[in-house]
Amino acid sequence: MTTVLVVDDEPEIRTSLRGVLSDEGLRVLEAEDGRQALDLLRSERPELVLLDVWMPEIDGIELLRRLRDEPGRPEVIMISGHGNIETAVKATKLGAFDFIEKPFSIDALLQMVNRALEHRARAGEGAAGAEATRDVGIGAAGRAVVPRRSRHGERTIKRSVVASGHGLHSGVKSGVILHPLPPGRGILFASVSSATTVPAHLDYVDSTGYATTLHRNGMTVRTVEHLLATLHAYGVTNLLVKVQGEVPVMDGSARDFCQLLDHAGIEEQGGEVEDIVIERRLVVGSDDGKGESIAIEPDDQLRISYTLVYPEPVGRQEFTYVHEGAASFSADIAPARTFGFVKDLKAMAAMGLASGGRLDNCILIDDEKIVNTTLRFPDEFARHKILDIMGDLYLLGRPIRGRVDARMTGHADNVALLRAIRRELES
């Protein structure tokens, strides 16, 4: 029988959790403080620990730190009545499987417990993944309409990882925690302090003003495109992304997200992911090569060309990216940073946007020059637009195979193209 240790200094919490977990067929032990918990951990060897953060003498973070050296270390879910991104990041760095804030729903807790025990079982078996399900993809929707297979199967990450930063538009100190998920689960964004989730899918796009925002059941996640572009490039199909309202902008590029995935490692899970294969040309906007437009047409792989035309000091920039895997993305697209014009900042501020814009997380341009940095590429702005397209394209539920040609477009145009592709596939 699987053993769970509940560590909390509040008797009513321990009693409540004992009842819920016992009803699920689990053996439940209780400890009211860290010292008692250490004794039970060494004598009973539980598979899972539910650990409160705020306790006298040895608090939950300190106990988690001590657990790092314990043989046969259990999975740990941290519980707090004062959850915040800093505590969640610290706990994850110390090896916690996940983090939930009081008061929590029973369903949310049980989902987390099941994920933790599944993860421990897979790790114990040394398995690269469970048997693949037939309905794979990102989120809850999407279907392959052409039976041509991509070159990889389902993927997740090998271990949980975290990164801290600020939200570009909210200005709030933020962070992101990435957790592995089993095959067939898709990419899900979740709140740091609850089990509320929103799939990374076109169905849940809420707005596209200056960034791509997802929303479902009261949960909103902003600025998802750079992280999604990185998951697209690395072929990650199953992942839980815990955030606090907005994915941090980091340095304005996807470079830190590439490093995060490299540190986590990629786990092959078996099964096969089928690309959405474009069979005829589709266009959104002007098709005369002069106005704003984005088009996609058949190709044997993903290619994205972008043309950007602004007055000086930007001028005309063009770049074509041929996606050949994570290495090409990391070298050619991921380092390209978001950019903005000083004259637009006042208007964005009036809209409640760009509150987190800093000198180190975006390229600022005035009427004469770039004011705060040196470009990483002569065509960095065009490359960054391709980065945004890579992220938005991953919202259809599967990777897309085709050639994209875009001119002076943004997130709204990208999403309009995705909707045109879906209408075509459903016709």
What percentage of residues in the chain have a pLDDT greater than 90? 50
Dig out the tokens for 51 from the structure. 């650990």
CA distances from 46 to 7, 38, 49 (A): 12, 11, 7
Q: Quick one: pLDDT at residue 175? A: 83
Average pLDDT taken over every residue of the chain: 84
Q: Is the pLDDT of residue 358 over 60?
A: no
Q: pLDDT-based confidence at 353, cuts 50/70/90?
A: very low
Q: Is the pLDDT of residue 151 over 70?
A: no
More confident residue, 241 or 122: 241
Indicate the range of 55-59, 75-79, 96-100 predicted with least confidence.
55-59
Q: Quick one: pLDDT at residue 382? A: 97
Q: Which domains does the chain have, with CATH numbers?
A: 3-125 (3.40.50.2300), 154-270 (3.30.230.20), 278-426 (3.30.1700.10)
Read off the pLDDT of residues 161-195 as tens digits, 9 standing for 90 and up.
Answer: 888 876 554 556 678 889 999 999 999 999 876 66
Q: Does 119 participate in catalysis according to the annotation? A: no
- Catalytic-role residue among 169, 179, 232, 411: 411
Read off the pLDDT of residues 75-92 as tens digits, 9 standing for 90 and up.
Answer: 999 888 765 677 777 888
pTM of the model: 0.75
Residue 130: CA count within 13 A, CB half-sphere: 15
More confident residue, 119 or 224: 224
The mean per-residue pLDDT over the stretch 403-416 comes to 96
More confident residue, 379 or 343: 379
Detail the DSSP E strand segments found in 323-379.
Answer: 339-341, 363-365
Q: Quick one: pLDDT at residue 51? A: 92
More confident residue, 115 or 202: 202
- CB neighbour list of residue 316: distance below 8 Å, 6 or more residues apart: 307, 308, 309, 310
DSSP annotation of 255 reads H
Query: In a 10 Å sphere around its CB, with 0-12 CB exposed, 13-18 middle and 19+ buried, how is residue 4 labelled?
Result: buried
- CB neighbour list of residue 5: distance below 8 Å, 6 or more residues apart: 28, 29, 30, 31, 37, 40, 41, 44, 46, 48, 49, 50, 74
Residue 23: enclosing H or E segment and its boundaries? helix 11-23
The mean per-residue pLDDT over the stretch 260-264 comes to 95
CA distances from 345 to 122, 131, 220, 225, 340 (A): 49, 50, 23, 21, 8
DSSP annotation of 131 reads P
Whole-number Å distance between alpha carbons of 26 and 237: 31
Q: Quick one: pLDDT at residue 254? A: 97
Residue 249 one-letter amino acid:
V
Q: Quick one: pLDDT at residue 95? A: 87
Read off the pLDDT of residues 306-346 as tens digits, 9 standing for 90 and up.
Answer: 999 988 888 999 999 999 999 999 999 999 999 888 776 65
More confident residue, 164 or 305: 305
